[in-house]
Every structure is written in structure tokens, then in C-alpha cells.
Structure 1
């Protein structure tokens, strides 16, 4: 029985360190891109390859690394991944050749491929019940804070030289050492045959509840990356002549509200089940995305930002908690790796799908379609993510 507050748990602090490394993707280096283009004398259109090279390994390696984390143990995958991330990222600060820099970013992407998945897996390994949900909320808060601050820190570091933001990745090395020597986490059983592992993992994935949660996560990435992040700035400039500074504040404000709401998930779930929070989030997504087009003033966008931030703050901790609890420990990492791959699919398809919608119905169509997708997913979760079924399935797998 824990005799102190959850947020004071040393294991959770280490998991937060993993979370902060996991979200240290490309946001911190993008402020340096203009200076990098000039210094390395490359075409401006080539600089995006630094993001592509980093993201590419995750598409192929995340499921494999999830299986290895189940078969070999979490630390045996996580510690080398963090070390590779830190060393390749740190070496990027010394690179003065673009091709060499691309190669280092590819190596760093290999290190990054398992981090988000293992970040969530560790929480589900370490905590259960309401504690797991609360820990997921704290973790989402930390991730949101990191995502908000890294571009600002990167901009400051890029002022004296374009290469300094890359050195932020060295923070992964002390996190790796903390994981190796001070993290006290349970490891999965390693005595099952691989064929048996695959059979059990397939059975755990082939349920209505899991399919509903996977689809819901994919839809959130489609609407947020495809509609909101791509076209919200354009709408603000077109409708209200908003400056880049105002646009940036509104987008950052969403992350701030997300962090505040997620930090309170432990308290909220005393009154509402995770399944209810998940469904509520989709109602809020639909409301905000439809209201964007009806906003009479820029100040109304502040309210919409609050609603979207609340939706995200409710959705992600609830989604991660449900998936973590439904996944048996012996193949939890592989289970969550499949979810991570589905999310990346949504992140990839979202901008492509909404670009097609934009071509047909312009910017208004993108937000109306996103709102309808949210309502459709709400209806889907009403059928597939039901409290009584979740409780029954969780009991059968415990």
C-alpha cells in the first residue's frame, strides 16, 4: 500500500524523463532551419528531410521493438534506445555536412522508435486501477509541457548557432542511466514460446473494444494533424488577419489547457469512468471543430482553444489507461506498439485526406468533415467501448 502521493514516486519521475525524451522529436530544431539552410548551403525544400529521416524508422521498427520489449524485457530495449537517441542527437550538433546530418537523424530515429510506446507500457506495468489512470494523466501533462517548451528552448539555443538545439538530445543519456540503475519495474515473463506469444497477442488484439480504441486514436490524429494543425492557422489569418504570434499563442494555449486537464484526471475518474471521458472528448472535438467556422471574433477562438485542450486532456490519458489495462503484461509492449503504429498511420493520412477535402470544399469543408468524423467516432465508441464489456474483458485478462 502506497503511503505517499503518486506524483512523488521515484519510478514515475523516471518515466517522466522518458516522456520528455520521447517528445523531443523535431520541434526543438525547427527554429534553426533557416540558419541551417544558409550554413550548409542546401535548397530550402531539402530541410524537411531532417524530419522525414527521423520519423521513418518508427513506421517499420516500433512493432518489432514492442515484441522485443515483451520477449527480452523493457530495460533491454529502452536503455540502448535512449543511449542511441542521445549519442546520435548529440553528434548531430557537431555535423557540418548535410548528408552526414541526415544519417545521424536516421540513427536517432531508430533510437526514438520505441520511446513513446515504452513510456506508456511502463506506466501500465507499474500501476493499476485508478493509480494507472492518474499516472497516465500526469504523464500526458509532462508530455504537453515538453511539446510546448521545446520550440521555445530551441529558438533560444539557435540564436548563437544553428547546431546548438541538436545538443538537447544529450539529455537522453542521463535518463538512460536512471532507467538502468534506479528504475524498479516488473518485467514480463520470458518462459513462453514465441508461437504461443504470437497467438496470445493476436487474441488480445482481436476484440471489439481494442479495435474501437485503435480506430478512435487514429481518428484523433486525422482530425488534429489533418484539419486543426494544417488549416487552423490559415483560417485565423484569412478570417481575422491574425499575426503569427497570435496563432502561436492560440496553438500553445491548447497544449497548456491539455496539460492542466490531464493533470487532474486522477480526481476526475473518481466520478467518471475512463470510457465516459473518452466519449465526452469526441463530443467536445465535434463541438469545437464545427464552432471554429462560426466564430464571430478572435476572442471566440480562445473559447474554442479551451474546448479543444479539454478534449485532448480528457482523451489521451483515458485512452492510454484503457489500452494499458486491457493489454496483458506478457505482451503489453507489442500490443501498445501496434497502437503506436496505428496513430502514426493517422498522422500520415490525416493531412493527405484533409488536403483532398480542402480541394473539394475549401477550408470550411475540412472542419465540417473533421466534426462529422468526431461524431461518427463518438457513435462507434458508444458501441465498442462500453463499461460493462471493458470490466468483463479486463477481469478475464487479469
Structure 2
């Protein structure tokens, strides 16, 4: 008796609805949660056919299912769970997960249904779909704004170039274009980048592939335009003599490991950047900012001009006389006839094809290194890769 009372208390206080029917589909018991779900009193459903709680077409098919099961013993629902819809007394339908078990009791079969209301989950799913659609609209809008910005940049550059070619020397042309680009495009580019990041953040784990694809495209285009602006700004400052090296002591191993980690994030598929240090010391006395920019530029080139599934070697070495930094790739290489022009501003090797670039990176790198009394050397062969070596006198 005590066990029976306990079982009854459990059923009466269960969160999910529990209904039992006989082999003809007649409702024998229903717990309070089941009554609340279907909006009936117990007296209104007990003795009635279970089909009263089902909307069409399940209502019409239920008796046939029971008859077919009794004749063939073939189970399609019993012992498994599935999502179905229920019919409330008010006529409203709602989704729920139904689990059915068969019990032999007092020489007859009783079927028990366990009903878990899915209304909240389905409502949340619908809200999430609406939010995803809204986010995709926002992504398309941001993409359109970015394309307009790119077009405006191209049109502005062409217009300014044509105007200044007739009026000024090349130095004046670059100065005015850089000033215009910096003020007119840096702020909207930053806003576009921030918007793409916020879209991913607010989407969380439920972000759709379409939204993710669009935000990735926005980030790539913004990074490309930002890089172009940075190259022009760096060149202008170098020519104006604004860069003054600030030498400080720092650990080049930790410094290089941080760069390696950052650059690995933007590498191509299965590209690996391998960093190694040689020497008993790790302390150098150089300008961290200039050295970082130079190394990032060279590794970026190695990533850009190498294929997927390749290795990029990044080595540092300290000897009693020199500090050496070497970046080596297995990319497209530099044609012999182009190598003598490699460090000239706006020069690009003829085998770069459609790979984007301004032709300023290596010119800026060489000038950064010279500011720190260093040297830049390289070796390269077409389709066999390129190796750049930066060397600096060891400071006491």
C-alpha cells in the first residue's frame, strides 16, 4: 500500500502529462498535468476515446493504428518517442513529445502515454529563425555598404590621381590621396568591421552558415582595404621623416611566438608557421614596433604567395655579433629579372597575377630595417620559394 501511495503521488505531481488507455483507446487515467495541458477536467476525458485529444488527421487514424497493432503486433510508435500535436478543449493545437509504453496488467494490455509540452521550445525556435532572418538582412545591408565604400574608394583614387598628375609631383599625389583615404574611409571601415563582429556575437552558437559566410567576406574586404591604407600611410610618414626608431630591450623569443600565433590565424588551410630560435640569449635591443611590422609584412607575403598545405619557416638567431631574423616559404618565388626592382615602391613581380597587393610592402620593410641599422637580403627561385633574412648588429 505504501508503494502504491508513493507511485500515485509521483504521477499526480509529475510535470509532464501521463495518460493511460485500454486496448480500444479508451482513457482510463490522466494526471493533473495532462488535464492542464489539454484544458479538461478528469471527469471530461476519462471513459472517452483518446482521439478526442488529437487534431485531424491523427484523430481519424488512431483507431486504425490500434487495430492494426493488435492484428500484426507491428510497432511504429510504441516504445519510441516522436513529436506530435495535441488538441486542447479550446480548439487550439500545441506540439508535444509523446512516448508510449505497453504494460501487461491483470491479464490485459494498458498503454501509457508520457506527454512533454514543446510549446516553449517551438516558440523559441521560431523567434530564433526570425532573428536569423533579421541578421541576414543586416549582413546584406552591411555588405552593400562595404561594396559602395570599395567603389567609392576606387572612384576617388582615380579622380584624385587624374587631377594631381597634371598639377603635382608624385610625392604630392601620394600625400593628398593618403590624407583623403585616411579621413574618408578609416571611420566607416572601422564601423563596418565592428558591425560584422557584433553580428557574430549576437548570433552566438546559432549563427547560420549564410550569415557566417557574409561576415567573413566583410572582414576579409575590410582587412584588405585597411592594409592598403596602412601601406600608403606608412610610406607617407617614412618620406616625411616621421619615423624615429625607439630602441628597447625585449625577449625576441616571446615576441616572435606572439607574432606566430597571430599570423597562424590568418594563414591558408593547413598552412603551418614553424618558429625556432637559436642562441643562448633571447634579449635584443631594437624597435619592437618597426620590427613587428617588418616581420608581419614578410610572413603575410609568405602566406599570400604560398599554397595550402605548406610550411612557412620563421627563425631567429642571436650570436655575439648579430641578431638575425629569417622567413622562408615554398611559394611562387620571384623571377630573376624582377629581383633588382623588388624593393622599389609600387613594384610588383610579373608572376603575381591576380594576387592582391600594393607593391609597397617590401619597400617599407627595407626602410624600417635601415632605420635600425639593419640589412635585408633575400634568395628566391620561381616555384621553389623565397627566403628573406633581416640582420642587425648585436647591441651591448
**TM category, shorter:** under 0.3
Higher RCO by CA contacts (8 Å cutoff, separation 6 or greater): 1
Q: Which has more helix, going by share of residues?
A: 1
State TM-score, norm by structure 2.
0.26
Q: Which has more strand, going by share of residues?
A: 2
